[in-house]
Structure 1
Amino acid sequence: MQVTRSAAAQARRAQILDATIAVVAEEGFARATFTRIAERGGLSSTRLISYHFAGKDELVAALVGHVVAGIGAHVGEKVGAATTARDRLAAYVEGVVSYADAHRAPMSALLRVAMAGAGGSAMQEPSDLGHLERILRDGQEAGEMRAFDVTVMATTVQRAVEVVPFRLQAEPDLDCTAYAAELVELFDRATRADP
């Protein structure tokens, strides 16, 4: 019986998160009240939200964690399948862009949370560039990539892919495949060792 309640609780939390993402993405962070989220999620009462989340801060932190975990899983799978550092860098860029394209509402919600200065410590801290720095250092050590400041390059790559959700809001018909290909070519030329 405990497992059933746990599964039911997880399903309810997911339902609340989905409704929160939809409200924040479509209506903005300020309109994401428990009442509005309950209406969107088809919940009988805002108490169901309060039962699973101590307050809006905890709910928004869960939203941020959920979206960031989704990005990490998607990108990690693509990067893990690549064999060279250059291919891993390309997979990272393509992975972030394709995730943003396929998950527009969660990415829009994440942006709106960030722009509202909400989301707790996960939104306040600078992005972890360790994964990108590792790829770039591996490329330099393998002779695939030229000498450059790894932190500067990692920051530049990260900022280039982070802008995609903003572009999608301004240009919903943006060709994300072409956009990713252009970024891959740009960063491959910027990092590769001279033949």
Structure 2
Amino acid sequence: MEASSGSTKQAAAAKDPSRRTFTEAARRAQIVNAAIEVIADAGYAKASFARIARAAGLSSTGMISYHFAGKDDLMREVVAEVSRVADAHVRPRMEERTGARARLRAFIEASVGLADAYPKHVPAMVDVLAHLRDDDPSRRDVLGTLESAADVQVERMREAQRSGEFREFDPRVMVTAIRAAVDATVTRAGREPDFDAEAAGRELADLFDHATRRTER
């Protein structure tokens, strides 16, 4: 049996985003954003297509099935979208700063500030990653990206140590501590409605500025 023109078009668009029409891209984004909301509010296990369709204002789940091959496919796009949003939020704030201390502060404040700007995104991605199989390509991609980013941060800290801007310490230990502190703070922000992410980011940045900077004796 030959595939229908609709299913053929769907498969081609899924493999090659450039073949999607503006309307198709907008609908996919609408569904992904609704999925993020549902996962953050109800949890991964309860993020059914029916719930997501209601959140997206769709009359049925058929539109989701048209754009995504299944729940795993949609969840992979959720992870990809959160990663894109986080990078677009943090990277420019770091690039506009000069010096290792200023860039480290920008990274911490912007990473924690993501909880204010996009309160549903990080909790949704954490929940999705916790449920994806270890061999899932999206899980491997995200973990690989995080590891590569950590390697870059470690090398930048070593450069700052060589230039005398940072004191002597184990850069890998420091990067691990910073990331753990940021993750814990963002998680806390998702659980406490009145949490002041801006103040927490500033305080965390102060803490690690004191921990890394070289001081005159």
Instruction: Kindly indicate whether the alpha-carbon contact (under 8 Å) linking 2:113 and 2:197 is maintained by their aligned counterparts in 1.
Output: yes
User: Runs (4+) of structure 1 moved beyond 2 Å?
Assistant: 114-128
Structure 2 distance, partners of 1:93, 1:132, is 12
Aligned-residue CA RMSD (Å): 2.1
Structure 1, gaps ≥5 residues long: none
Structure 1 distance, partners of 2:128, 2:50, is 18
1:16 lines up with 2:37 in the alignment: no
Structure 2 distance, partners of 1:10, 1:91, is 32
Return the index of the structure with the highest Cα Rg.
Answer: 2
- The answer to which of 9-18 and 138-147 deviates more is 138-147
User: How far 1:117 moved relative to its partner?
Assistant: 4.5
TM-score using structure 1 length: 0.90
> Given the alignment, which residue of 160, 169, 173 partners 2:181?
160
User: In the alignment, what sits opposite 1:101?
Assistant: 116
- Number of aligned positions between the proteins: 193
Structure 2 distance, partners of 1:62, 1:133, is 29
The one-letter code sitting in structure 1 at the alignment partner of 2:61 is T
Instruction: Kindly indicate whether the alpha-carbon contact (under 8 Å) linking 1:136 and 1:145 is maintained by their aligned counterparts in 2.
Output: yes
User: In the alignment, what sits opposite 1:189?
Assistant: 210
| Identity percentage of aligned residues | 40
Structure 2 distance, partners of 1:122, 1:190, is 34
User: How far 1:170 moved relative to its partner?
Assistant: 2.9
The one-letter code sitting in structure 1 at the alignment partner of 2:127 is R
User: In the alignment, what sits opposite 2:90?
Assistant: 75
TM-score using structure 2 length: 0.81
- The answer to which of 110-119 and 141-150 deviates more is 110-119
The one-letter code sitting in structure 1 at the alignment partner of 2:90 is V
Q: Deviations over 1:49-97 (max 9, x none)?
A: 1221111111111101101111111110011011100100000000101
User: How far 1:111 moved relative to its partner?
Assistant: 2.5
Structure 1 distance, partners of 2:215, 2:111, is 27
Q: Deviations over 1:150-183 (max 9, x none)?
A: 1111111111111123211332211222211211
Structure 2 distance, partners of 1:90, 1:37, is 37
Structure 2 distance, partners of 1:136, 1:144, is 9
Structure 1 distance, partners of 2:208, 2:86, is 20
Instruction: Kindly indicate whether the alpha-carbon contact (under 8 Å) linking 2:115 and 2:190 is maintained by their aligned counterparts in 1.
Output: no
1:144 lines up with 2:172 in the alignment: no
User: How far 1:110 moved relative to its partner?
Assistant: 1.6
